[in-house]
Structure 1
């Protein structure tokens, strides 16, 4: 448990009639080994009256939000992590349940009620986050689970994970957390909100790998509801080759549009700023794979826009700027006992001035030996006749984001043995 989470829990006790007892985190004192099995990263929604439709959140006040997640590690009990990281007012939650999903809004089998300090309802203070009590739940890796959250009558969405590539659901007014039927869930949206993690109680040798980066880790332009992002494919690859008591989860902390060095009104905090919260504080994470930098290179050249300018600030960067940012990540990871692999930046059909930065960064990643390992996504995806471009079969059509086949090739390019060895060495410490 982090100090910040404890402070958040204590603040909630003062702010809400659904106050948490001081023993809410008592489960942390047990011998259970908690490992993050699914996770996502939040980004604030710009707060302005002239938002384009893509940035308008659904109405959730007094309704139930049902979100579909796919854990990548099995366990007999689970904890749900809630975040109000960017909230300005308390996040009021009145009921939470988890059940196996049929892949859509309907659920199958019995559901499990999620409690917080023994209570069904909770108020997460502005800027706070917390874990639930352990929930007796048979979690099976790769299967879909529905996390249903009934919120208070004044609740709004002020932060989300915008590109989930997963259809989630909003109910008609009322508490529909126990509904097995999909009938009450008439609204659909493709973001994640509030629920930012599921951890499972696992064997002591189990651990998680965190994939963090921008839209290419987030899985932009991969097939909706199909889990075709490269971290998904890598999780399946590890599961197929696994066995015995050691299991490794793969969690996706990519944010589309994210940069290493600069915050954005739309695309979240700079990765250098969010790395501690989104990776190092996750239970059981022992290795990170970092793919970030192409937006830092590109956004300086994007035209400024009137109204909402998601690319602001249009900061120019050099290869040494990016390298210094990577070095900060590496230092933070090593201080936390986490291994970090650097991934080469993939081809994006850049003009020569920007392409030279990409090539210089990739050369450093490959040769500097600063990271604990290298994932050469550039070599896996590039057209051998045109090294600044994606291979045609790996191009989704925009010349930047891979196709499903491209994401599959990325998963195959990860040096699985080296990643597993890094995890094993970390868990032995």
Structure 2
């Protein structure tokens, strides 16, 4: 099995390479209707000191690619005991805590209205009779009858969701009972759809920069969101899943397992994935866990090989500037520069995120208009610039791997 290299080091920033239409995948890659791909995803892990139960959560997410027969995946990967899920509903979001009338569909699991998720496991719902347009805002309502400590979920959603004080209100279309606001997602970590033709899915694997820290809440302004819009505008049937975790590292566990440790569950477990964009290293460098550039480069090589076994392409991103961080030192900066140089000179496909957002007068720092404050996390404009740096031809499904 050979490694797929679509474009070499010269394909660093190619956001305008395609112009209009997204070119079709080669004939050998054409897939019959019915291909299931992820249209939304979020990395799941135990939320310390967060309990959930005896009430209903209504979690708001935006999908990417259009499709039919959506299915949900609920996760108990951080749990230490089985978790019982009661009523689950899935509908189009009407704003606030409300669901669009007539769309709040009952969700079943093997024909049952409830499910038990084993500790450390996930469950898939049955297909739901609902067509989803591209960039659909959906409301997933989940009632858990018994209180669960350290519930599995995603802590930095950059999106408002809703809780009831008590009771099962999953079937409610109105927002009346959903009086508590949160910026977290509980249990839900994937939505998939069936496509009516060829396509695929891309996973954005990273840390807080991929997670969207510094972007505008409730407006879907993370760089993977902007990437999804570019793909849609170019005519690609490509789902985009955000597997960013704030504080994540490549080499060591932290807020969640390392990128290497969570590769199977946060990337390879999603259907239809043909490419991964990995932007991660700054937390390894800042924490001192990466003592030399070779530490990160060896880990990248292992991730590339593991993905290639499954026919998935790895596209690395150069590490963005970070002058302004309290952890910044010149010695650590030298590691970042060396890693970026190696990425650019490798001959493997990459995206030059650093070049897209760095200050032209001082490449150690973000451009002022792209800095959300603190020197590390881009603003929403910076995230848009990062997405614009992606050569979309890198993300075409390709049978050559």
User: Could you tell me the TM-score, scaled by structure 2's length?
Assistant: 0.88
2:366 maps to 1:390: yes
Structure 2 unpaired stretches of 5+:
1-31
Measure, in 1, the Cα distance between the counterparts of 2:301 and 2:146. Answer: 46
The CA deviation at 1:249 is 1.2
How far is the alpha carbon of 1:250 from its aligned partner?
1.1
Write out aligned runs for 1:224-303 (5 A).
224-242=217-235, 247-264=237-254, 267-300=255-288
Kept in 1, the 8 Å contact 2:33–2:195? The answer is: no
Partner of 1:10: none
1:144 and 2:146 are equivalent in the alignment: no
RMSD over equivalenced CA pairs, Å: 1.6
Question: Distance between the aligned counterparts of 1:172 and 1:32, measured in 2?
Answer: 40
Matched residue, 2:350? 374
1:135 to 111, 128, 134: 128
1:67 partnered with 2:59: yes
- Matches for 1:352-367 after TM superposition, within 5 Å: 352-367=330-345
Question: TM (normalized to structure 1)?
Answer: 0.82
Q: Which residue of 2 aligns with 1:44?
A: 46
Structure 1 residue ranges without an equivalent (≥5): 1-29, 47-55, 301-314
For residues 300-354 of structure 1, the C-alpha deviation after alignment (integer angstroms, 9 at most, x for no partner) is 3xxxxxxxxxxxxxx3531100001101100011001001100000000132101
Deviates more, 1:286-295 or 1:97-106: 97-106
**Cα distance in 2 between the residues matched to 1:347 and 1:60:** 38
Counterpart-to-counterpart distance in 1, 2:34 and 2:191: 15
- Within a 5 Å distance, the mapping from 1:74-153 to structure 2 comes to 74-110=66-102, 111-153=104-146
Contact 2:251–2:258 (8 Å) recurs in 1: yes
Aligned residues, how many?
A: 365
SS of 2:262 mapped into structure 1: helix
Residue 308 of structure 2 corresponds to residue 334 of structure 1: yes
Cα separation, 2, equivalents of 1:335 and 1:417: 21
Shift in Å at residue 154 of structure 1?
3.0
Correspondence 1:351 to 2:329: yes
Could you list the per-position Cα deviations for residues 242-285 of structure 1 after superposition, in whole angstroms to 9, with x for gaps in the alignment?
A: 1xxx5111111100110001001xx1000011012101121011
List 4+ stretches of structure 1 deviating above 6 A.
none
CA contact 1:157–1:193 (8 Å) conserved in 2: no
Measured after TM superposition, the shift of residue 109 of structure 1 is 2.4
Query: Which structure dedicates a bigger proportion of its chain to helix?
Result: 1
The answer (yes or no) to whether the contact 2:161–2:182 under 8 Å persists in 1 is yes
The CA distance in 1 between the partners of 2:221 and 2:237, in whole Å, is: 21
Counterpart Cα distance in 1 of 2:147 and 2:247: 30
